[in-house]
Structure 1
């Protein structure tokens, strides 16, 4: 739900050309919200190591900045509905990458989850096909005789 709201909000706000400011504000609101919730429910513990710093930098640069810029470029290019269907592919890629890189076993629930995601993609594509009016052939116009 939050992704849908963010996508539609940024699509409208990005026409002014200040996309990075909008995305930055979204991330700020999200981080403040998560910080407040974690302060209530989680004990504070932080050990700064080179691995932690590398992982933190990666999170900022790759999914935080690069993926966000790619996502909104995609929304601008193909529209929010079609772009959102790519999010349905996240479970598939997660299962595939975990199996390929980490040696994770692919279980029945993983396969069922991927099938549900694929059904979601199919339903979105079929609904778009049904709502898109068919193209009609152009008929030549004849000059008015007078």
Structure 2
């Protein structure tokens, strides 16, 4: 009976890990065309895309592995871009809490933030753990008590 339960647990874990194989979902927008893309981010009408499905014309075999948020100040006006990222690493030194900042000539400031810890991580909100991810494990332990 215990080995049957263990097999069931492993099966659930494999099924739920396949979710991440489908790809990372990221917000895609730019504040130049939609003010809801700015901070604070209003994602009620924004699309999310599966970054593994997005292709670049210049590198057709490259797939998106991260979400990206770019905050840019050009001549005193802020612009925000959210999309999939194809190259690099999340954050600085694989630490998503830090963004790459660049200041250029002609009063231009740019901040690049990349992440891959969860779907929609390129929003402005803090990270949260999905309660849905705990549901299968909780259900399995409940049924084990009944057996």
Q: TM-score, normalised by structure 2?
A: 0.22
Bigger Rg, structure 1 or 2: 1
Q: Which has the higher helix share?
A: 1
Q: Which has the higher strand share?
A: 2
